[in-house]
Structure 1
Amino acid sequence: MSLFRKNRKKLKTSPQEQNGNEKTKLSSDLQDSITYINELLGKNDDFVYRDFYIFGSIPAYLCYFSEQANPSEINTDILKPLMYPPEHIQKNLPDESKLVDVIIKEVLYQSRVKTETKWDVLIDNLFLGDTIILIQGQDVGLQLGTRKLKERSIDEPRTELVVLGPREGFVEQLGTNIGLLRYRLPIPDLVIQTTKIGKLTKTKVAVCYIKGITNPELVKEVEDRLSKIEFDSVLDSGIIEQFIEDNPYSPFPQIQTTERPDRVVGNLIEGRVAILTQGSPFALLLPTVFSQFYQTTEDYTNRFLMGNFIRIIRVMALVFSLIFPSLYVSFIAFNPELLPTEFAVAVSGGRAGVPFPAVIEVLVIEVAMEILREATVRLPQQVGGALSIVGVLIIGQAAVEAGFASPVTVVVIALATIGSFATPVYTAAFALRMLRFPILMLAGLFGLYGVVIGAILILNHMLSLQSFGVPYMSPVSPPDKEGMKDVVVRGPLWKMKNRPGFLQAQDKNRVGAKTQELRDRRRVPGPVDEGK
């Protein structure tokens, strides 16, 4: 009687349990394997399986998930050559010991074929879109790469827009993101090591670095922290960030997130490590220092004079958004004599009739602005734009006319909010938005002294932070000569000869001698010079 026509009785124990110590190994009895996998996955409507004969005589079993695998590829490149093999194989069937080797090397049209003896590995890859083939008399299964996952096309990053620079951004598929890195770093020294994190999600995570540049101790520390994550679900790179950062209670992010491949490549070349996560378009860069949060790709793709001007404006906006509302409160409530007379009169006239102290007035407007900002982000794009215009124009004007707030207060909060938008990294901008409130309260209690105390406390906290052993305020504290060339202003690229010292890169040099000759040479004589 044919193997497939027998009555498939349920086993009291699974094949793993029957094998004693080898609980995860496949059984050479195809019937046992079929019973086990059907009991495990047979209740799923998208689970597809088929019994067939290899070379017309050897029983086999094929299975896959319909929404994860490519059925046309399975039919054309797998089933057809197995059921209708070449003539030389039909005449001389291979021995049982050589069957799997002959199938892989002479029959299948699939380039992604692996043999596997462990059930857990086969099942994990089955969920990811691979096709599994089990063969009678063989204690190994064939795992074929037939994944067909729909993915978002490569598009411009949504959170890190640039005027002059590359337009490509990461997507949710890890393989595509790794390809974007390989495209920009076509070198054998680019090392990508993958692991799986998450007891239920089994999320694939890739650790990327450049061998010969990145400090091996840094790579070892990153891998050690990742290996200790035991959590049910890892759905995004932000979950990994919370587990591996040094100080989770700090408002400042100690790991930079980016969805730009060019930024990741630039940081890899400096000696950092990047972490890519399956299902997330954001990469993690580490170690991270504070100066990275106000730097953009345009700072390096533009001529250094233009890039420095834009960066200085960005740094001023960062400081402005943090302390400007607090300075306004301290001047109005405690030190009005520090203001010019005309301006002080204009401010006092505008505040006439406002029933709240300056600090309460600013706090209320700040909270209202945060609510408006959050509502704008969460609403659909078409509605969100209209809401922001209504909130800024109509609600602000109505608050001033009702005597709820003074015109100067609305202007101050609006300018501080615009300044926070100039910070290119969202997580850093969010930290500054949070810190604005405690400094504002200190200003309402102690005036300028409170602003100074708040600034000192924040600076002291930043000096105490570390990111994977690197001081957060590097290269300012501790000072680093090479790193100082790219803090507030950036020196010309040919002057930045070495990589930052605080990263302890193995290869410190990044500018060749010929480049130095190119920039230091005298002007080549032209036709005008020859005629003299």
Structure 2
Amino acid sequence: MQGWKEKYTSYIKKQQPGPPKAPETEVLGHSLADNLEHLQALLGSNGDFVARDFLLFGKYEAVMIFFSSLVNQEQIQEHILKPLMARPDDHQGVPENLDGIIHYVWKIAVQVTQGNSERKLSCLPPAIVKGNLVLLIDGVPEALLLDMRQIDLRSVDQPQTEQVIRGPREGYVEKLENNLALLRYRLQSTDLRVEISPLGSRTRSRVALCYLDSIADPQLVAEAMRRISIIDTDGIIDAGYIEQFIEDQPLSPFPQVQNTERPDKTVAALLEGRVAILVDGSPFALIIPALFNQFFQTVDDYTERFIMGSLIRIIRLIALASSLFFPALYVSVISFNPELMPTDFAVAISGGRAGVPFPAVLEVLIMEVSMEVLREATIRLPQMIGGALSIVGVLVIGQAAVAAGLASPITVVIVALTTIGSFATPAYNAAIALRMLRFPLILLAGMFGLYGVMIGTILIINHLLFLDSFGVPYMSPFIPGKWRDWKDALVRVPLWWMRRRPSFLHVRDSARLPRAVPDVYEDQILQQGGEAGERYPSDHDAANGRRNR
């Protein structure tokens, strides 16, 4: 093996300008040595490149080419190398010449589930870097590609960014096959369609487009495929790369594509008629179209009873509104309209602000920026240190700022409540959007008071009404909307009331539940001579009435 000094010398020589290279051959030749030389020239120098030569069935020169870091070498030895190196007596029907040898190896000799033959030389390097093994035989102008890819990744674990109280504990991992298996495990339907194609001129990352053929709008599926197909970049490292290419308004702070690491949430979106995008190497799935109200809903809203789910959702929306408007309202009232506060409360606030050298707007901005810096530092630090930093930052720094006269106690309380309210937003990217908009609202409140807050609110609402996500209005089902779409908006009505899928998705099959649910008690009444539709017994009245509503 060459040392680093020899590698350095060889690399420098390769960089020297020389005569132009001869055009590469497009098809494989009969010479094994020539094919191997061309293939090594295309792949370049790699430390994990393996070219294992052997005698096929004891009489034909052959070589196996693969990257040792991408394949399972134990399976290669057991299921490929061992049967191919056996003597002809151990196999029945071994061809006497090279005609049909590739067909015999694939059909009878090797024990591999996926593979294909290839005659073009240019198709072999991309297959090798994806984890395929290439088998070349001397005298045969054809290669056999065998899928032997195996990469050690983390196992399926609980999602880290979308915690739930009651619900599944499975989250996506980086391997696409595992993520698709989690989807098919929860959605065992023959209507599930998975379209897989590579994307990225250098990474060639596999991208999967998933949808339910009998439910999803064909125009939505076609539009998703069109936007993905026009992406022209050298690499796709994560699903977030695709999100930035396919969203409608890249300059908007609000996300127009939803991301999730929960398979159950993806399945629920597919059942509504949405489309999911998964990328090999990314533990997140993209869901389109994404609307404003989706970012403030969680799995707990549906796994819990509708009364509790609706109450938690309303509390979450109140926390959202307070985190966005609370600091701006505080600044506007303190700076321009103190008469709106009760006298005792105004006196208490003025006493707390005595000695603070900054105006209210600058004081709130300093505290908000400090809190954002502290939040970012907590996220980037290791988990054990980050927890200690958050406690030190909130308790020690906040108390020290009040004691030093740099901030008033009421300002610390306002900023703390605002930060806690922002934590109630389930989607991280939506929470960032609200945190960004909080600062211009504070500035408008400091310049114009309540009028500035009103102007900023109108601008935000107009921007939300302007947005679309894959042709669907961003504020659906609020504007425009139908009554049946409001059943899962501000509150979550019982599941038996949500008989139809959202109308704004223009799905093929809108029915979730049949119009009439069969009822055993009605059958009993008919058998006893009663009339259909008469009142049920009191202990079953409520349940049956709900189900037939």
Q: Note if 1:502 corresponds to 2:509.
A: no
Q: Note if 1:46 corresponds to 2:48.
A: yes
Q: Note if 1:511 corresponds to 2:518.
A: no
State the partner residue of 2:82: 80
Structure 1 residues 300 and 356, CA, compared in 2 at 3 Å: closer, same or farther? same
Conserved? CA contact 2:193–2:213, under 8 Å: yes
State the partner residue of 1:426: 428
Q: Note if 1:64 corresponds to 2:71.
A: no
CA apart distance, 1:67: 1.3
Q: Note if 1:17 corresponds to 2:24.
A: yes
CA apart distance, 1:308: 0.2
Letter aligned with residue 436 of structure 2: M
CA apart distance, 1:161: 0.1
Letter aligned with residue 416 of structure 2: A
Conserved? CA contact 1:14–1:36, under 8 Å: no
Structure 1 residues 264 and 86, CA, compared in 2 at 3 Å: closer, same or farther? farther
State the partner residue of 1:200: 202
State the partner residue of 1:5: none
**Which residues in structure 2 correspond to 1:337-376 (within 5 Å)?**
337-376=339-378
State the partner residue of 1:278: 280
Conserved? CA contact 1:172–1:278, under 8 Å: yes
State the partner residue of 2:100: 98
CA distance in 2: counterparts of 1:297 and 1:519, whole angstroms: 33
CA apart distance, 1:82: 0.9
1:343-383, Cα deviation, whole Å (9 max, x unpaired): 11111110011111100000000000000001111111111
Letter aligned with residue 39 of structure 1: A
State the partner residue of 1:117: 119
CA apart distance, 1:55: 1.4
Conserved? CA contact 1:15–1:32, under 8 Å: no
CA apart distance, 1:232: 1.5
Over 6 Å off, 4+ runs: 12-16, 518-522
CA distance in 1: counterparts of 2:266 and 2:511, whole angstroms: 19
CA apart distance, 1:15: 9.5
Letter aligned with residue 54 of structure 2: F
Structure 1 residues 139 and 515, CA, compared in 2 at 3 Å: closer, same or farther? farther
Letter aligned with residue 287 of structure 2: L
Letter aligned with residue 213 of structure 2: K
Conserved? CA contact 2:115–2:147, under 8 Å: yes
**Which residues in structure 2 correspond to 1:160-171 (within 5 Å)?**
160-171=162-173
Letter aligned with residue 297 of structure 1: V
Structure 1 residues 526 and 408, CA, compared in 2 at 3 Å: closer, same or farther? closer
CA distance in 2: counterparts of 1:70 and 1:461, whole angstroms: 53
State the partner residue of 2:151: 149
Task: State which drifts further: 132-141 or 182-191.
Answer: 132-141
State the partner residue of 1:466: 468
RMSD over equivalenced CA pairs, Å: 2.0
CA apart distance, 1:463: 0.1
Task: State which drifts further: 436-445 or 98-107.
Answer: 98-107
CA distance in 2: counterparts of 1:500 and 1:37, whole angstroms: 54
CA apart distance, 1:166: 0.4
Identity of aligned residues (%): 53
Aligned length: 511
CA distance in 2: counterparts of 1:447 and 1:104, whole angstroms: 77
Structure 1 residues 460 and 42, CA, compared in 2 at 3 Å: closer, same or farther? closer
CA apart distance, 1:37: 1.5
Letter aligned with residue 168 of structure 2: P
CA apart distance, 1:314: 0.3
**Which residues in structure 2 correspond to 1:410-489 (within 5 Å)?**
410-489=412-491
State the partner residue of 2:399: 397
1:188-235, Cα deviation, whole Å (9 max, x unpaired): 110000111111111111000000100111111111111111112211
State the partner residue of 2:134: 132
1:368-427, Cα deviation, whole Å (9 max, x unpaired): 000000111111111111110010000000000111000000000000000000000000
CA distance in 2: counterparts of 1:108 and 1:470, whole angstroms: 51
State the partner residue of 2:14: none
Structure 1 residues 498 and 28, CA, compared in 2 at 3 Å: closer, same or farther? farther
State the partner residue of 1:6: none
State the partner residue of 2:216: 214
State the partner residue of 1:7: none
**Which residues in structure 2 correspond to 1:227-306 (within 5 Å)?**
227-306=229-308
What 5-or-longer segments of structure 2 have no aligned partner?
A: 1-18, 523-532, 541-549
CA apart distance, 1:491: 1.1
Q: TM-score, normalised by structure 2?
A: 0.90
1:167-201, Cα deviation, whole Å (9 max, x unpaired): 00001111110110010111111000011111111
Structure 1 residues 402 and 171, CA, compared in 2 at 3 Å: closer, same or farther? same
CA apart distance, 1:468: 0.4
Structure 1 residues 343 and 216, CA, compared in 2 at 3 Å: closer, same or farther? same
CA apart distance, 1:340: 1.2
CA distance in 1: counterparts of 2:123 and 2:301, whole angstroms: 46
Conserved? CA contact 1:420–1:429, under 8 Å: yes
Conserved? CA contact 1:63–1:133, under 8 Å: yes
CA distance in 2: counterparts of 1:42 and 1:201, whole angstroms: 16
